[in-house]
Copies of this chain bind each other. A is one copy, B any other.
């Protein structure tokens, strides 16, 4: 099968390397690059050279960003070409339109690499859904922020110092806001909720990040047997669903708490299979390239043709996600109980209500940090085991 790459950055080069060294049945025939970077005979600066080439059956979009990625993906799907993409921003913003266009032309839309890098997350959700309903998901979906929190926790350094080092080393973007404000996780949460719940997910989900996290916040939570991770979460019940992105104070002996460095860990809960967790490299040239090539192989071998019709009549209901929240703030909040020095506990908020409370607190104290405080799961429950 002849394919084209749109973009030849970190991920595009990884895809090219994996295919050329390991996959004989696929050929990278064309590569879309900027006019001043055409260093390879396969490269062109014209998308039309690719979209008008009938020998190219599949297009891998790994440019990132909303435009021109959106236009090129739509063009490929309208031309009946299969699309594989690692671009979470463009998928999260256009998932239903892409899916409808793919369905109308018979093209396949493959998005494994857009969430969780090399982790087989999207295909696993689709497989689980052949039998089960997915009732909830949650996960560490951003390697940069996990790296930052992990470094702060283990080295005791403060946020700005760790972020600066991560930027120097190239682990974090010069403008880090997509990572540290939760936007990247928001996109991945929208995509995951769409696939897991079969719904065109609400885009305006409650979202907060770790920009204001301090080493002293981690110490405060450590004193309660917890640490903080930035999680994307979703839940579906009784014809309704909700999702949110926020720091969560997880139990220190949970798997989530112990995810090191820039790894990801994503969890789903489903009717008969129960709880499944998947862990791996959430980014990087080869892991993300691997996820793309797996999608290309599924397509080339006719093994999997994801069909997203988002036909389930699910209502978005933020009240499904509720719990207690801790805010470290100098703002004075009603209904707040003390929670260690300088922090308060506010009980039984929805994720939306918590986000509104955070805005209120930030207006008074721009350094405010907030994390959800889920009920502590007893780490050992003798009654929960089964034979084997």
In the complex, chain A residues 71-127 whose Cβ is within 8 Å of any chain B Cβ: 117-120, 124, 127
Complex formed: what's the CA distance from A287 to B272 in Å? 6
Contacting residue for A261 out of B130, B277, B380, CB 8 A = B380
Q: Give the nearest-CB partner of A142 in chain B.
A: B388
A375 within 8 A of B: no
Known A-B contacts A131-B294, A276-B280, A281-B273; the reply to A261 vs B388 at CB < 8 A is no
Residue numbers in B under 8 Å from A275 (CB-CB): 263, 279-281
Q: Are A119 and B276 in contact (CB under 8 A)?
A: yes
Q: Are A131 and B274 in contact (CB under 8 A)?
A: no
Q: Are A382 and B287 in contact (CB under 8 A)?
A: no
A136 to chain B, nearest CB (A): 15
A381 within 8 A of B: yes
Residue numbers in B under 8 Å from A278 (CB-CB): 276-279
Interface string of A281-301 (1 = CB under 8 A from B): 111111111110110010000
Q: Give the nearest-CB partner of A18 in chain B.
A: B272
Complex formed: what's the CA distance from A263 to B385 in Å? 8
Q: Are A380 and B262 in contact (CB under 8 A)?
A: no
Q: Are A388 and B144 in contact (CB under 8 A)?
A: yes
A197 within 8 A of B: no
Contacting residue for A131 out of B258, B285, B290, B383, CB 8 A = B290
Known A-B contacts A260-B379, A386-B262; the reply to A274 vs B281 at CB < 8 A is yes
Q: Are A131 and B22 in contact (CB under 8 A)?
A: yes
Complex formed: what's the CA distance from A10 to B155 in Å? 49
A236 within 8 A of B: no
Residue tally, chain A, CB below 8 Å to B: 78
Contacting residue for A272 out of B119, B143, B151, B290, CB 8 A = B290
Contacting residue for A258 out of B254, B285, B287, B291, CB 8 A = B254
In the complex, chain A residues 196-238 whose Cβ is within 8 Å of any chain B Cβ: none
Q: Give the nearest-CB partner of A257 in chain B.
A: B258
Stretch of A47-55, A165-173, A327-335 contacting B (4+ beta carbons < 8 Å): A165-173
In the complex, chain A residues 149-178 whose Cβ is within 8 Å of any chain B Cβ: 150-151, 153-155, 165-166, 169-173
Q: Are B253 and A258 in contact (CB under 8 A)?
A: yes
Known A-B contacts A297-B130, A388-B282; the reply to A151 vs B276 at CB < 8 A is no
Known A-B contacts A127-B120, A281-B274, A379-B154; the reply to A261 vs B142 at CB < 8 A is no
Complex formed: what's the CA distance from A388 to B184 in Å? 9
- Of A23, A120, A275, A382, most B-chain CB atoms within 10 Å: A382
A90 to chain B, nearest CB (A): 16
Q: Are A274 and B283 in contact (CB under 8 A)?
A: no
Complex formed: what's the CA distance from A54 to B366 in Å? 73
Complex formed: what's the CA distance from A297 to B127 in Å? 10
Residue numbers in B under 8 Å from A153 (CB-CB): 380
Instruction: Add 12 more A-B contacts to A144-B387, A260-B381, A273-B286 (CB < 8 A).
Output: A117-B388, A118-B276, A144-B388, A169-B385, A254-B258, A255-B258, A255-B279, A272-B290, A274-B284, A274-B287, A279-B279, A284-B387
